[in-house]
A and B are shown apart, each in its own frame.
Chain A
Amino acid sequence: MSADNLAKTNTEVGTPSEGGEGGNFPPFDPSTFASQLLWLAITFGVFYYLMSKTVLPRISGILEVRSDRIAKDLEKANELKQQSDEAIAAYEQELAEARGRAHSIAQDARDKAKADADAERQKVENELSSKLSEAESKIAAIKNAALAEVGTIAEDTTTALVKELLGGKLTKSEVSSAVKQADTK
């Protein structure tokens, strides 16, 4: 193949005297095969042994430890995240409760204030109405007294009038009966 061609070019280009071993193309020189095979077997065998016994288990160990560590760290991170989520939820709940409690306290205060105000107003109203009725009764009494005096005034006035106009004398009982008569008319 191409190697043969190369071998031919070699024999053409290369100086035949310097080859020493018949100008053989070195890769096809069978006299070197035994040595190359032996040393390849030794070196590659040692290399294979080193790789399979030392290097590869070690690297795979390193990679495994790392991936385990990453997985563990991720797990831990997830756990922590869950914890923080729980804490946030608890906080929110507490906040809502506190808000509710504050609301009820405010409501209570408002209700109480309202009740107090109502009671106060009631009291004041009661007082006022009692004062009113008292005043009314006083007025009524005064009115009654005044009305009662109206009769005597009328009698006196009538007696005086009769005396002046008629010159006659009237008894007190006559006058009062007349006044009563007029009053009832």
Chain B
Amino acid sequence: MKNDPIHQFQITDLLPLEVGGYNVSFTNSALFMVLTVLLSSAFLIMSTSGRGLIPTRLQSISEMTYEFVANMLRDSAGSEGMKFFPLVFSLFVFILIGNLFGMFPYFFTITSHIIVTAALALLVIGIVIVYGFWKHGLGFLKLFVPSGVPPVLAVIIVPIEVLSFISRPLSLSVRLFANMLAGHITLKVFAGFIVSLSALGIGGVIGSILPLAFTVALTALEFLVAFLQAYVFAILTCMYLNDAIHPSH
């Protein structure tokens, strides 16, 4: 069981709860969602509480995060997109801190469950669809017909565009989920090698240097992936929102 790389994704009930026949227990996943929100909110609120004209270091971090996401959104969706700024910012920080929390040993990675990433992706796509139709009516469907395409080609292009649109929530959720899952499994497998090789004796201990080096390198890589996936999720959100704001290409 110790060497089972999947065990880290096991969800265990911490506080059993059942509502309307559904098991909605407070689980380790829920605990880490709460911790993610608590940590990031506390940091953001406390670091900016001074409202310093000259920022402290921590306030600088909050401001940099703010400007990082704000620039990302403004660059891809224009100034009109700024009304979605709280959403994109929340998504970015929530996913980033959730991913980084997963890097601690024995901590649960909330984004390693497809239902979480799928819910976030569907939230984004749902907002894109609702806002698109609310703002442009049927004009939103122009999204599927690139301007300047002759009708003959449109017959081929439109189904492709529709398909690509449908695959967006899928790719958005699976990308994040699979990256976190695969990364943590790989890490666990290599770390497991060290333990099982060391158990073989002195030769095994020497032999375990290689997986140890791999584990160290992979840990660094996983930190990069944790940030990168949050960034990718946020920037794709920005691009999809841009489609809702400016449907005609």
User: B51 near A35 (CB under 8 angstroms)?
Assistant: no
Q: A2-B178, A3-B178, A50-B41 are in contact. Are A32 and B51 (CB under 8 A)?
A: no
Binds B, one of A36-44, A104-112, A114-122, A159-167: A36-44
User: B177 near A27 (CB under 8 angstroms)?
Assistant: yes
Binds B, one of A61-69, A150-158, A172-180: A61-69
User: A18 near B33 (CB under 8 angstroms)?
Assistant: no
A1 to B182 CA separation, bound complex (whole angstroms): 12
The digit string for B51-71, where 1 denotes a CB below 8 A from any CB of A, is: 111010001001100110000
Binds B, one of A52-60, A75-83, A84-92, A135-143: A52-60
Contacts of A28 in B (CB 8 A): 114
- For residue B144, CB closer than 8 A to chain A, the reply is no
- For residue B232, CB closer than 8 A to chain A, the reply is no
The number of chain A residues touching the other chain, given as a range, is 35 or more
A61 to B113 CA separation, bound complex (whole angstroms): 36
User: B87 near A35 (CB under 8 angstroms)?
Assistant: no
User: B114 near A27 (CB under 8 angstroms)?
Assistant: yes
Min Cβ gap B54→A in Å is 9
The digit string for B16-60, where 1 denotes a CB below 8 A from any CB of A, is: 010000111111011001101100110011001001110100010
User: B90 near A10 (CB under 8 angstroms)?
Assistant: no
Contacts of B37 in A (CB 8 A): 43-44, 46-47, 50
Which of A1, A43, A62 contacts B30, CB < 8 Å? Answer: A43
- For residue A31, CB closer than 8 A to chain B, the reply is yes
Q: A38-B24, A51-B89 are in contact. Are A33 and B41 (CB under 8 A)?
A: no
* Of listed A39, A41, A50, residue having the most chain B CB within 10 A: A39
A50 to B89 CA separation, bound complex (whole angstroms): 11
Min Cβ gap B238→A in Å is 16
- For residue B147, CB closer than 8 A to chain A, the reply is no
- For residue A95, CB closer than 8 A to chain B, the reply is no
Binds A, one of B6-14, B153-161, B202-210, B212-220: B6-14
User: A31 near B33 (CB under 8 angstroms)?
Assistant: no
User: A33 near B115 (CB under 8 angstroms)?
Assistant: yes
- For residue A146, CB closer than 8 A to chain B, the reply is no
Min Cβ gap B64→A in Å is 10
User: B10 near A26 (CB under 8 angstroms)?
Assistant: yes
Min Cβ gap A37→B in Å is 6
Min Cβ gap A18→B in Å is 5
- For residue B112, CB closer than 8 A to chain A, the reply is yes
Contacts of B120 in A (CB 8 A): 40, 44
Contacts of B44 in A (CB 8 A): 50-51, 55, 59
- For residue B116, CB closer than 8 A to chain A, the reply is yes
| Chain A residue with Cβ nearest B113 | A27
User: A39 near B6 (CB under 8 angstroms)?
Assistant: no
User: B181 near A59 (CB under 8 angstroms)?
Assistant: no
- For residue B193, CB closer than 8 A to chain A, the reply is no
A31 to B27 CA separation, bound complex (whole angstroms): 12
Within 8 A of B (CB), among A1-19: 1-3, 6, 10, 13-15, 18
User: A55 near B48 (CB under 8 angstroms)?
Assistant: yes
- For residue B138, CB closer than 8 A to chain A, the reply is no
- For residue A97, CB closer than 8 A to chain B, the reply is no
A48 to B86 CA separation, bound complex (whole angstroms): 7
Can you offer 20 A-B residue contacts whose CB atoms are under 8 A? Answer: A3-B178, A13-B4, A14-B6, A14-B7, A26-B10, A27-B177, A32-B23, A34-B22, A35-B22, A35-B25, A36-B115, A36-B116, A39-B29, A39-B33, A42-B33, A44-B120, A46-B37, A51-B89, A51-B93, A63-B66
Interface residues of B (CB under 8 A from A): 1, 4-7, 9-11, 17, 22-27, 29-30, 33-34, 36-37, 40-41, 44-45, 48, 51-53, 55, 59, 62-63, 66-67, 85-87, 89-90, 93-94, 110, 112-116, 119-120, 174, 177-178, 181-182, 185
Pairs of residues from A and B, 6 with the lowest C-beta to C-beta distance, nearest first = A52-B86, A39-B30, A43-B33, A34-B22, A26-B9, A10-B6
Given contacts A32-B11, A58-B48, A59-B62, 11 further A-B contacts (CB under 8 A): A6-B6, A18-B1, A35-B11, A35-B25, A39-B33, A41-B119, A51-B41, A51-B89, A51-B93, A59-B63, A62-B63
